Structure 1
Amino acid sequence: MPVPLSLVDPLPIFAGATLAESVESGIELARDAERLGYHRLWYTEHHNQGCYAGSATSVLIAHAACRTDRIRLGAGGVMLPNHSPLVVAEHFGTLATLHPDRIDLGVGRGVGGPAHTSRALRRSTDRTDSYEEDLAELRGHLWDSPDDDGEESVRAFPGAGTRVPLYLLGSSVAAARTAASSGLPFCFASHFTPDPLEEASRVYRSEFRPSPQCAEPWFIAGVNVTAAETGAQAQEEVWAARRRLSPALSSGRSNAEETRAAFDSPLGRRFLQRYTYSAIGAAEETARYLRWFAEHAGADELMIEFHTGSARAREVALRLVADAMLTG
């Protein structure tokens, strides 16, 4: 049985686009993804990064939910060290109340931006030390009964008893162990941290403990996709995406030959290694890669991030992948 295909959208700011246009492009992506049969779409949390418009995940989810009807929407994810678990529970409890059975909450332990942004986000640089405690608190706010335990108890209203599905995000074997011991679905960031994928998948499945939310392990693997009408067009698009994502490598390069030479440097090869798991090509070539990757990763679901040079090229890629894998 084919694995479900889902999307993660950091709301890239393409060349010449305003912030408003970038957000609207993301909303149109969600509408098209729903129409084409994608399973879910998650928004990422990035801070102090000028190439992305995605920072306030709950606001984006609310906006997208009002413009769509069925597709699951969520955060991929909320970086828990940046936030109070109670506030996260209230935000996502509100979303779940307004849009029942459509909201997901993926959580991670990173910052979602350069290290020096931590102080501005939370006024503290040691919050990752309490990550597992924060995760347990958040889970309690959403999954425990809303009954009042007394004057000193703290409950999320909305939030308590909504049972918003939690997903643990990570890029390490340690994160896989945390997800397994917590009995949570696990989304591994193989689209930018490829090396630990196989071990993380094995450890998660072998150490998984059932929970009220999840009786069986559910492993989601991230993968990059650049699909176009032809293989040559796909190569043009992926290089446009690489130039946008790595201005230090592409700045001042006057032509494609110079750009490719820069990426052949030690720094460039380290950059490209992050994107080892990438489906690049025409529709059928991309589909073959995604089928292979799902088996290689032992994935129950694939989480796709599109790498293109424009919003229009991303729309084409979305349709081509759906035509090759979600129809018929």
Structure 2
Amino acid sequence: MTVPLSILDLAQIAEGATAAESFASSVTLAQRAEEWGYTRIWYAEHHNMGSIASSATSVLVGHIAASTKTIRLGSGGVMLPNHSPLTIAEQFGTLETLHPGRIDLGLGRAPGSDQNTMRALRRDPSAADTFPQDVLELQGYLSGQTRVPGVQATPGAGTNVPLYILGSSLFGARLAAALGLPFAFASHFAPQALLDAVSIYRREFQPSEQLERPHVIAGVNVIAADSTADAQREFHEAKRRRVSLLLGRGQQFTTDESEAILNSPASQQIGQMARYSAVGTAREVSDYLDWFTGHAGADELIVATQAGSTDAWLRSFELVAGTVQPVAA
């Protein structure tokens, strides 16, 4: 495999566990991922989700950075319409000042929440409409070439924190191409537009100060285990947990209820989300990732695993690293 391999850490709170335990697991993963040769780890902004602890994304990035030495860390992503560009420039400018050369800033325009949570965030539903302009404003603060007269990001100005556009549609592909930024496609949960989005991004890409040529990061689900049977069992349990997350609206289904839903037409969305999933032994996962890299036209893969226990989660990333042997970005 000839592309860099990175990690999306969903900062999951396991059933019966706490957010503090989730953060401790994320630190352990980052420290080991450094040793295993992964390129970067990203954390995603989610709100009002009892099983995900990465809502204060920049704070979590800072905590992990203080416990590691070399691995790149960042957001995958910050949902920019939830924030002012100046605030994000100051947060990530601070992170880059404290941990120079290690910070990424991935940006998305989705709310990362439901309608009630959007209101609790004081977010205007139309905020996503100005996402392109907000990205440019943020870029201006970080480059020291502000687009708002008399307003500078301190810290932030001149740090040139690299920006990445995250997306699951053609909109993000076109924006990333127009701005000359790397494009990360969320094919690990929204695979439908992957091929069209990558094609458009590469065709329309305009070189920029940050990036001379297109750079595609594609998301893929991974569950690696010491046996195929163990990996398939973890994968099935992950789908059952996703049933509760997506269809339960806060309600925890019993095992029988989850199985009934998975065997009904209502599970079609779950199956679609998991279309790109590498499941099996290290060799089986490696073969799948080789195929997926070519299929997606990816320059880098970012892998997410939803293994149920911390041990299985860490083992999955370790097995992938040991076989794929990621290369430097």
Which bin holds the TM-score, normalised by the shorter protein? over 0.9
| 1:251 aligned partner | 253
Question: Partners in 1 of 2:294 and 2:259 — Cα distance?
Answer: 31
Q: State the 1:245 CA deviation.
A: 2.2
**Any idea what SS the aligned residue of 1:211 has?**
coil
Q: 1:259 to 1:123 in 2, by over 3 A?
A: closer
TM-score scaled by length of structure 2 = 0.94
RMSD: 1.8
**Any idea what SS the aligned residue of 1:69 has?**
coil
| 1:300 aligned partner | 299
- TM superposition outliers: structure 1 runs of 4+ over 6 Å: none
TM-score scaled by length of structure 1 = 0.94
Question: Partners in 1 of 2:87 and 2:79 — Cα distance?
Answer: 13
**Any idea what SS the aligned residue of 2:66 has?**
helix
| 2:139 aligned partner | 139
Deviations 1:181-219 (A, max 9, x none): 010000000011111111111100010000000011000
1:198 equivalent to 2:195? Answer yes
Q: State the 1:259 CA deviation.
A: 4.2
**Any idea what SS the aligned residue of 1:63 has?**
helix
Alignment-mate amino acid for residue 171 of structure 1: S
Q: State the 1:125 CA deviation.
A: 2.1
1:91 equivalent to 2:88? Answer no
- Work out which structure has the larger RCO, using CA pairs closer than 8 Å and 6 or more positions apart in sequence: 2
Question: Partners in 2 of 1:145 and 1:214 — Cα distance?
Answer: 18
Q: State the 1:262 CA deviation.
A: 2.3
1:63 equivalent to 2:90? Answer no
| 1:218 aligned partner | 215
Q: Is the 8 A contact 2:47 2:117 kept in 1?
A: yes
Deviations 1:246-303 (A, max 9, x none): 214771334xxx7444212111122121110000001100000001000100000001
Q: What's the % identity of the aligned pairs? A: 51
Where do 5+ consecutive residues of structure 1 fail to align? none
**Any idea what SS the aligned residue of 2:121 has?**
helix
Question: Partners in 2 of 1:293 and 1:60 — Cα distance?
Answer: 30
**Any idea what SS the aligned residue of 2:157 has?**
coil
Question: Partners in 1 of 2:270 and 2:116 — Cα distance?
Answer: 21
Further displaced range: 113-122 or 55-64: 113-122
Q: Is the 8 A contact 1:10 1:46 kept in 2?
A: no
1:120 equivalent to 2:117? Answer no
**Any idea what SS the aligned residue of 1:216 has?**
coil
Alignment-mate amino acid for residue 288 of structure 1: D
Question: Partners in 2 of 1:3 and 1:185 — Cα distance?
Answer: 15
Where do 5+ consecutive residues of structure 2 fail to align? none
| 1:320 aligned partner | 319
